[in-house]
Amino acid sequence: MSDIETTTVSEEGYASTSHVGDFDLQIDATDETGPNPNATLVATYASCFLPAFRVGGSQRGEEDLGKLQIDASAELDDDDDLAAISFDLHVEADLSEGELDEIVDRAEDICHVHSALREELHADISAYGDAF
């Protein structure tokens, strides 16, 4: 048996619904009934990176990072394939640039989506402490 199993169905057109455990995720290549697959991938990457950042912080003795927010952006090439991803990571805790860099490096090792992407699509991450 697989570790992860999903079912994705498209009744017509370019929209599909993925059933992931007890959840349904609507994805639409035309952005009409849900986000497109590239946008979903970028959001999934950010959603994976935030808890990885918290774990990395905890491993570095930073237990209370407070609110975290990623403002993600992505560039597409001429074929509408992802060419680049950037994260602006805002951290409520007042951390130095060096502390932020250490936690970002650790989070990159922890984040499963980061590990799954080809290296040229790894997010270019700028982290800002005392952000809220």
- Residue 82, Cβ neighbours under 10 Å: how many? 19
CA 4, CA 20: separation in Å to the nearest integer? 9
CATH of domain 37-128: 3.30.300.20
Tokens 């199993």 found at = 5
Closest CA to 41 of 110, 108, 121, 127: 121
Instruction: Kindly report, residue by residue over 9-66, the tens digit of the pLDDT.
Output: 999 999 999 999 999 999 999 999 999 999 999 999 999 999 999 999 999 999 999 9
DSSP-derived pairing of the beta strands 15-20 and 6-9: antiparallel
Instruction: Kindly report, residue by residue over 86-107, the tens digit of the pLDDT.
Output: 999 999 999 999 999 999 999 9
User: Helices (DSSP H) in 1-132: which residue ranges?
Assistant: 37-59, 97-110, 112-116
pTM of the entire predicted model: 0.91
Which residues lie below 8 Å from residue 116, measured CB to CB, with a gap of 6+? none
- At 1 the pLDDT is 75
Within the chain, all domains assigned CATH 3.30.300.20 are found at: 37-128
DSSP-derived pairing of the beta strands 124-128 and 15-20: unpaired
